[in-house]
């Protein structure tokens, strides 16, 4: 471990005199590096001090992004002799993966950056991330991820490995009063949508389906109003503020009071650049993904299909 002393989110909130929700927001955006101990998120003193130094005189709405955050830059000096390993994406499986990496891989310290699929690939192209998660549908081919990876990582040597598959579809009001059963139903007049942010896999899925079905974004009320995660989208539908949202099945079961209409099984892959310095931890990652212990932990979470977990989808 990087330190014998660490702070809980409650302690960070008191020290910085901000709300606990703001602390979670900083962690989610990758601006305050953290790691998980059991069910608690912990922050090392050195990372807290680095955050404070970076943000002296900066208002919370002017915080740095992944691009200019020193704690999340590939190749940055290591923490306590450990190399930071930036893992992007929002799925719970990635938090579990980070825990296994920290426990079983020498010389690295996993850091989580909660970035959407397309932005994650762009961050890898820029040298800002190490393990990128992505679930991007190419509507023309029906293929997940590989068409985008091939276009964005031109000239790079990389490996793409499957993490899991999961159902994506509609969040609708209980009983599905508007009878929304397929993508073409998004053309229903007056339909209100709860949307994801640009660059997320769910946003790409929606935009591709609108394009394929000859629908225009401005036909959907609320299209420009963005939520940063699946739970936010599902919650808008549950609260009656939207008629439909696009997301994964797990969020519907967490939020409750809504129905989920499965429409597609999306492939959730991991991408890593094959460099000399990455080879050791890439092999460790593959062993973790293929291990019984890791798969058993994921199997305890409903909605995951682990049929191809650990399978190499493409290697260049």
Q: At 157, is the pLDDT very low, low, confident or very high (cuts 50, 70, 90)?
A: very high
Give me the half-sphere count of Cα atoms (radius 13 Å) on the Cβ side of residue 188: 14
Q: What is the mean pLDDT of the segment spanning 168-190?
A: 97
Contact assessment for residue 117 and residue 198, using Cβ atoms and an 8 Å cutoff: no
The token duo for 241 is: 């503020």
Whether the full predicted model's pTM is greater than 0.85, yes or no, is: no
Residue 192 CA to residue 237 CA, distance in Å, equals: 9
pLDDT band, very low/low/confident/very high, at 4 (cuts 50, 70, 90): low
Instruction: Compute the distance between CA of residue 18 and CA of residue 25 in angstroms, rounded to an integer.
Output: 11
255, 234 Cβ separation under 8 angstroms: yes
Predicted local confidence at residue 5, as pLDDT: 74
Q: What is the dihedral of CA 70, 111, 115, 283, to 10 degrees?
A: 120
Give me the DSSP letters along 251-315: HHHHH-SEEEEEEEEEEEEEEEE--TTTHHHHHHHHHHHTSHHHHHHHHTSTTEE-TTTT-EEEE
Closest-CA residue to 13 (of 36, 46, 43): 43
* Percent of the chain residues past pLDDT 90, beyond the cut: 67
Q: Tokens 């990496």 — which residue?
A: 101
State yes or no: pLDDT of 171 exceeds 90: yes
Distance CA(213)–CA(183), nearest Å, equals 7
Q: How confident is the model at residue 67 (pLDDT cuts 50, 70, 90)?
A: very low
| DSSP assigned state of 221 | B
In this predicted model, what pLDDT tens digit does every residue of 83-114 receive, in sequence order? 889 999 989 999 999 999 999 999 999 998 88
Task: Give the range among 25-29, 168-172, 242-246, 301-305 with minimum mean pLDDT.
Answer: 25-29
Asked if 80 and 2 count as a contact pair (C-beta separation under 8 A), the reply is yes
Q: Which of 161, 103, 156 is nearest to 132 (CA)?
A: 161
Answer whether residue 70 shows pLDDT above 80. no
The answer to whether 86 touches 111, Cβ cutoff 8 Å, is yes
Average pLDDT over residues 219-232: 93
222: its two tokens? 């609320």
- pLDDT category of residue 71 using cuts at 50, 70 and 90: very low
Q: Which residue has the higher pLDDT, 55 or 52?
A: 52
| Across 266-271, average pLDDT | 98
Contact 180/266 with Cβ under 8 angstroms? no
pLDDT at 20: 74
Region of 38 on the Ramachandran plot (φ > 0 left; ψ -120 to 50 alpha; else beta) = left
Is the pLDDT score of 316 beyond 90?
A: yes
**Residue 52: band (very low, low, confident or very high) from pLDDT cuts 50, 70, 90:** confident
Q: Which candidate, 293, 265, 286, places its Cα nearest to that of 143? A: 265
């Amino acid at each position: 471990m990087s330190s014998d002393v660490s702070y809980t989110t409650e302690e960070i909130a008191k020290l910085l005199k901000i709300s606990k929700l703001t602390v979670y927001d900083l962690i989610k955006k990758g601006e305050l590096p953290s790691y998980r101990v059991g069910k608690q998120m912990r922050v090392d003193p050195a990372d807290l001090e680095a955050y404070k130094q970076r943000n002296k005189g900066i208002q919370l709405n002017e915080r740095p992004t992944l691009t200019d955050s020193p704690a999340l830059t590939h190749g940055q000096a290591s923490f306590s002799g450990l190399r930071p390993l930036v893992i992007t994406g929002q799925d719970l499986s990635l938090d579990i993966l980070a825990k296994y990496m920290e426990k079983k891989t020498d010389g690295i310290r996993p850091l989580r950056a909660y970035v959407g699929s397309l932005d994650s690939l762009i961050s890898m192209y820029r040298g800002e991330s190490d393990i990128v998660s992505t679930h991007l549908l190419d509507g023309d081919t029906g293929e997940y991820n590989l068409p985008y990876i091939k276009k964005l990582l031109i000239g790079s040597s990389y490996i793409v490995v499957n993490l899991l598959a999961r159902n994506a579809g509609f969040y609708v009001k209980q009983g599905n009063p508007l009878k929304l059963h397929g993508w073409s139903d998004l053309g229903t007049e007056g339909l209100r949508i709860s949307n994801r942010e640009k660059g997320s896999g769910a946003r790409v899925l929606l935009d591709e389906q609108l394009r394929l079905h000859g629908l225009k974004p401005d036909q959907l009320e609320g299209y420009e109003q963005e939520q940063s995660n699946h739970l936010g989208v599902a919650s808008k539908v549950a609260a009656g503020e939207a008629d439909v949202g696009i997301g994964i099945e797990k969020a519907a079961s967490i939020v409750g009071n809504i129905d989920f209409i499965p429409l597609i099984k999306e492939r959730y892959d991991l991408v890593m650049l094959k460099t000399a310095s990455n080879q050791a931890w890439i092999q460790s990652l593959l062993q973790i993904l293929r291990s019984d212990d890791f798969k058993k932990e994921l199997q305890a979470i409903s909605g995951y299909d682990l049929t191809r977990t650990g399978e190499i989808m493409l290697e260049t």
